[in-house]
């Protein structure tokens, strides 16, 4: 089994040319021809993730978020990014990241979140017209049984395991049609409104964006890590389904950089 075998498996459903222009998905560290013993799967790559890979004898790390997002001008112990890269190189650990190309796949990040919420009749929130290729941003679907807004918020909180949610003013309507975009999806709220969604779940929403719904939709910020966390299981499923005898596991190291203080 080589790094390329794993890379090809992942890009079958999320080709690299589906990534956004600002992104840096793909092989981050290593050689596609290197043999792989075992893979560690995570959302973010940190020093702790590399340490876990070393401890578990994994010589491949597969992440959603790229460790190297912008160009590195040097490799010194100055930042956690550089330290993680140096440690990976020293220990012959390759790194693959499937980021916005996996976001934009119908079988990717947003489908998994939508299915965890139990949404049906899934479609892209903003499909990309590009020949016969099926990709786009976000997802929209419906509940079989509409629920009250407060019940919806409670359900989302429990599903993505977060102690708090930020949201816009309640609209007074039941939630049936839900639009969502894991991670930073504020730019697609106009599409959620155009599609007459009752709620839009995303993350990284700015303060003034909470004014935009104007009673037409319930805007919910569930957190970046929280709305993308199921990507780890997705990647693991893709790899182990293609290669049933390959050793891959989901990282135990928690990489969410955001901590919450909840008042008693």
- For 187, the domain range is 104-221
Q: Reduced to 3 DSSP states, what percent helix, strand and coil does the chain have, rounded to the nearest 5?
A: 35, 25, 45
Q: How confident is the model over 161-201, as pLDDT tens digits?
A: 999 999 999 999 999 999 999 999 999 999 999 999 999 99
Q: How confident is the model over 99-158, as pLDDT tens digits?
A: 999 999 999 999 999 999 999 999 999 998 766 578 999 999 999 999 999 999 999 999
Residues 7 and 77 in one domain: yes
Q: How many domains does the chain have?
A: 2
Residues 94 and 126 in one domain: no
Report the CATH number at residue 147. Answer: 3.40.1390.30
Q: Alpha-carbon distance 19 to 34, whole Å? A: 24
Count of Cβ atoms closer than 10 Å to residue 116 Cβ: 15
Q: How confident is the model over 22-57, as pLDDT tens digits?
A: 999 999 999 999 999 999 999 999 999 999 999 999
Any domain includes 90: yes
Q: Is the dihedral of CA 228, 229, 234, 239 positive or negative?
A: positive
């Amino acid at each position: 089994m080589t790094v390329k075998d794993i890379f090809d498996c992942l890009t079958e459903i999320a080709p690299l040319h589906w990534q956004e222009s600002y992104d840096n998905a793909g092989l981050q560290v290593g050689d596609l021809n290197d043999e792989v013993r075992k893979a560690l799967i995570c959302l973010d790559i940190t020093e702790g993730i590399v340490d876990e890979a070393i401890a578990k004898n994994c010589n491949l790390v597969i992440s959603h978020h790229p460790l190297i997002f912008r160009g590195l001008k040097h490799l010194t112990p100055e930042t956690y990014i550089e330290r993680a890269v140096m440690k990976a190189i020293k220990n012959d650990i390759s790194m693959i990241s499937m980021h916005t190309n996996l976001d934009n796949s119908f079988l990717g990040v947003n489908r998994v979140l939508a299915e965890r919420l139990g949404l049906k009749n899934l479609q892209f929130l903003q499909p990309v017209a590009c020949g016969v290729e099926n990709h786009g941003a976000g997802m929209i679907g419906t509940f079989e049984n509409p629920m009250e807004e407060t019940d919806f918020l409670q359900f989302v909180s429990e599903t993505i395991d977060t102690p708090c949610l930020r949201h816009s003013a309640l609209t007074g309507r039941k939630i049936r049609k839900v639009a969502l975009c894991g991670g930073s999806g504020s730019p697609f709220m106009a599409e959620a409104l155009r599609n007459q969604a009752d709620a839009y779940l995303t993350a990284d929403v700015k303060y003034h964006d909470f004014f935009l719904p104007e009673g037409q939709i319930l805007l919910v910020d569930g957190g970046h890590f929280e709305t993308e966390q199921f990507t780890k299981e997705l990647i693991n499923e893709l790899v182990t389904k293609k290669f049933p005898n390959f050793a891959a596991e989901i990282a135990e190291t928690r990489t969410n950089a955001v901590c919450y203080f909840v008042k008693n």
